[in-house]
Amino acid sequence: MKFYILPVLILFSSLNLVSQSINWVTMDKALELQKNTPKNIMIDIYTTWCGPCKMLDKNTFTNKDLITFVNANYYAVKFNAEGNESVNYKNRLFENPNYDPAKAKRRNSAHQFSQYLGVRAYPTIVFLDDNAELIAPIPGYQTVQKIEIYLQLFKDQTYKDINSQEAFNTYYKSFKPTFTL
């Protein structure tokens, strides 16, 4: 009997881990969902060859508190900045006309959408408000506690009250992280 309990426990714990993930959707789907239920959009702009992008997936986007918060307050989009997906945004079609399928797993041409959003480094997390207007691109690898600052700042629309670097520094210094590590 003991031999059966351990595999069952392992199975249930692994199923629990699988069910705990961010609900990623395409950009077009996020915009469609936003029409009926307005929420901000968080876009993880990555490339297939980017090491820090993979670290973000492994170390940051697996945090239980972050997952719960993002799923409740944002539409989460995972967007390959060098991929071949078409995006309809602001009555404009964005594509990657120079995409080379032979380079799918390595450096490829930059997508028009990532260029439009001003992405210059990977990963970059881009935040859009509940009307799909650009709030800010946040470049570079983000730890759980670093990204929590921005998730809260943009969800609560506190960013609208911050009009200087000094005001942001005050917000940053007074911020108390709540996500467990």
Question: What would the pLDDT profile of 32-81 be if each residue is shown by its tens digit?
Answer: 999 999 999 999 999 999 999 999 999 999 999 999 999 999 999 999 99
| 106 within some domain | yes
Q: Which residues, 6 or more positions from 51, have their beta carbon under 8 angstroms from its beta carbon?
A: none
Start-to-end C-alpha separation, the chain: 36
Tell me the pLDDT band of 156, cut-offs 50, 70 and 90. confident
| 53 within some domain | yes
User: Looking at the whole model, is its pTM more than 0.85?
Assistant: yes
Pairing of strands 124-128, 92-94: unpaired
**Which residues sit opposite 134 in a β-bridge?**
128
Tell me the pLDDT band of 14, cut-offs 50, 70 and 90. very low
How many domains does one find in the chain?
Answer: 1
pLDDT in tens, 162-174: 999 999 999 999 9
In percent, the amount of the chain with pLDDT more than 90 equals 87
Q: pLDDT at position 19, please? A: 57
| 54 within some domain | yes
Range of the domain at 58: 20-143
| 177 within some domain | no
What CATH number should be reported for the domain holding residue 61? Answer: 3.40.30.10
